[in-house]
Structure 1
Amino acid sequence: MDVYIVLRIISSMAVVGLVGFYLHLYSTVWLKSERVRRKLRLQGIKGPAPTFLYGNLPEMQKIQQLQELKTPNLQADFIAHDYTSTLFPYFEHWRKQYGLVYTYSTGMRQHLYVNNPELVKEMNQCMSLDLGKPTYVSKRLAPMLGNGIVRSNGIVWSQQRKIVAPEFFSDKVKGMVSLMLESGQTLLRKWEDLIEAQGSVTAEIQVDEDLRDFSADVISRTCFGSSYVKGKEIFKKLRILQEVISQQNFLFSNLGGLKKQNEKGLEREIETLIWEAVKERESSCDQKDLLQKILEGAINDQTLGNGSSKQFIVDNCKNIYFAGHESTAVAASWCLMLLALHPEWQARIRTELAQACPDGLPDSNTLPQLKTMAMVIQEVMRLYPPAAFVSREALEDTQVGNMTFPKGVCLWTLIPTLHRDTETWGPDANEFKPERFTDGVSKACKFPHVYIPFGLGPRTCLGKNLAMVELKVVLSLVISKFSFTLSPKYKHSPAYKLIVVPGNGVHILIQKIC
Structure 2
Amino acid sequence: MANGSDWYHQRHIAAPAFMGERLKSYAGLMVECTKKMLQSLQNAVESGQTEVEIGEYMTRVSADIISRTEFDSSYEKGKQIFHLLTELQSLCHQATRHLCLPGSRFFPSNYNRQIKSKKMEVDRLLLEIIQSRKDCVEIGRSSSYGNDLLGILVNEMEKKRSDGFNINLQLIMDECKTFFFAGHETTALLLTWTVMLLASNPSWQEKVRAEVNEVCNGETPSIDHLSKFNLLNMVINESLRLYPPATLLPRMAFEDIKLGDLHVPKGLQIWIPVLAIHHSEEIWGKDANEFNPDRFASKPFAPGRHFIPFATGPRNCIGQSFAMMEAKIILAMLISQFSFHISDSYRHAPVVVLTIKPKYGVQVYLKPLNS
Q: 5 Å matches for 1:328-477?
A: 328-394=187-253, 396-399=254-257, 401-402=259-260, 403-439=262-298, 442-443=299-300, 445=301, 449-477=305-333
- Which deviations, in whole Å up to 9, do the C-alpha atoms of 1:177-197 show, x marking residues without a partner? 111101111001100000111
Structure 1 CA distance for aligned equivalents of residues 325 and 184 of structure 2: 13
2:25 is matched with 175
Contact 2:256/2:263, CA 8 A, preserved across alignment: yes
2:8 is matched with 158
Match of 2:118 among 252, 266, 281: 266
2:178 is matched with 319
Contact 1:386/1:501, CA 8 A, preserved across alignment: no
Q: CA RMSD in A?
A: 2.3
Structure 2 CA distance for aligned equivalents of residues 343 and 327 of structure 1: 25
2:92 is matched with 245
User: Any idea what SS the aligned residue of 1:450 has?
Assistant: coil
- What is the CA-CA distance between 1:454 and the residue it aligns to? 0.4
**2:115 maps to amino acid:** E
Summarize the Cα distance change of 1:434–1:274 in structure 2 as closer, same or farther, 3 Å threshold.
Answer: same
User: Any idea what SS the aligned residue of 1:255 has?
Assistant: coil
- Which deviations, in whole Å up to 9, do the C-alpha atoms of 1:140-193 show, x marking residues without a partner? xxxxxxxxxxx3222211110011113212443222111110111100110000
2:129 is matched with 277
Counting matched residue pairs gives: 354
Match of 2:336 among 464, 480, 487: 480
Structure 2 CA distance for aligned equivalents of residues 429 and 170 of structure 1: 35
Contact 1:424/1:447, CA 8 A, preserved across alignment: no
Contact 1:384/1:416, CA 8 A, preserved across alignment: yes
Tell me which moved more, 268-277 or 426-435. Answer: 268-277
Unaligned runs of at least 5 residues, structure 2: 107-111
**2:190 maps to amino acid:** A
Structure 2 CA distance for aligned equivalents of residues 493 and 448 of structure 1: 28
- Which deviations, in whole Å up to 9, do the C-alpha atoms of 1:6-58 show, x marking residues without a partner? xxxxxxxxxxxxxxxxxxxxxxxxxxxxxxxxxxxxxxxxxxxxxxxxxxxxx
Summarize the Cα distance change of 1:339–1:229 in structure 2 as closer, same or farther, 3 Å threshold.
Answer: farther
Summarize the Cα distance change of 1:448–1:231 in structure 2 as closer, same or farther, 3 Å threshold.
Answer: closer
- What is the CA-CA distance between 1:222 and the residue it aligns to? 2.6
Contact 2:16/2:152, CA 8 A, preserved across alignment: no
- What is the CA-CA distance between 1:258 and the residue it aligns to? 1.9
Contact 1:242/1:497, CA 8 A, preserved across alignment: no
- What is the CA-CA distance between 1:366 and the residue it aligns to? 0.8
User: Any idea what SS the aligned residue of 1:225 has?
Assistant: helix
Contact 2:189/2:357, CA 8 A, preserved across alignment: yes
2:109 is matched with none
Summarize the Cα distance change of 1:446–1:166 in structure 2 as closer, same or farther, 3 Å threshold.
Answer: closer
2:35 is matched with 185
1:507 is matched with 363
**1:463 maps to amino acid:** G
Structure 2 CA distance for aligned equivalents of residues 398 and 175 of structure 1: 43
**2:366 maps to amino acid:** I
Structure 2 CA distance for aligned equivalents of residues 256 and 339 of structure 1: 46
User: Any idea what SS the aligned residue of 1:424 has?
Assistant: helix
- What is the CA-CA distance between 1:344 and the residue it aligns to? 1.3
**2:255 maps to amino acid:** D
User: Any idea what SS the aligned residue of 2:223 has?
Assistant: coil
Q: 5 Å matches for 1:156-235?
A: 156-198=6-48, 203-226=50-73, 229-235=76-82
- What is the CA-CA distance between 1:249 and the residue it aligns to? 3.5
Structure 2 CA distance for aligned equivalents of residues 392 and 162 of structure 1: 20
User: Any idea what SS the aligned residue of 1:298 has?
Assistant: helix
Structure 1 CA distance for aligned equivalents of residues 191 and 76 of structure 2: 21
Structure 1 CA distance for aligned equivalents of residues 303 and 215 of structure 2: 32
Summarize the Cα distance change of 1:187–1:413 in structure 2 as closer, same or farther, 3 Å threshold.
Answer: same
- Which deviations, in whole Å up to 9, do the C-alpha atoms of 1:441-461 show, x marking residues without a partner? x33x37762100001221100
Structure 1 CA distance for aligned equivalents of residues 302 and 133 of structure 2: 49
- What is the CA-CA distance between 1:319 and the residue it aligns to? 0.7
User: Any idea what SS the aligned residue of 1:191 has?
Assistant: helix
Summarize the Cα distance change of 1:227–1:314 in structure 2 as closer, same or farther, 3 Å threshold.
Answer: closer
- What is the CA-CA distance between 1:279 and the residue it aligns to? 2.8
Contact 1:206/1:505, CA 8 A, preserved across alignment: yes
Tell me which moved more, 379-388 or 275-284. Answer: 275-284
Structure 1 CA distance for aligned equivalents of residues 351 and 102 of structure 2: 22
Structure 2 CA distance for aligned equivalents of residues 447 and 320 of structure 1: 24
* TM-score, with structure 2 as normaliser: 0.88
* TM-score, with structure 1 as normaliser: 0.65
Unaligned runs of at least 5 residues, structure 1: 1-150
Structure 2 CA distance for aligned equivalents of residues 464 and 162 of structure 1: 16
- Which deviations, in whole Å up to 9, do the C-alpha atoms of 1:59-81 show, x marking residues without a partner? xxxxxxxxxxxxxxxxxxxxxxx
Structure 2 CA distance for aligned equivalents of residues 335 and 473 of structure 1: 13
User: Any idea what SS the aligned residue of 1:427 has?
Assistant: coil
- Which deviations, in whole Å up to 9, do the C-alpha atoms of 1:391-428 show, x marking residues without a partner? 1123x433254444223321111111101111111111
Q: 5 Å matches for 1:43-54?
A: none
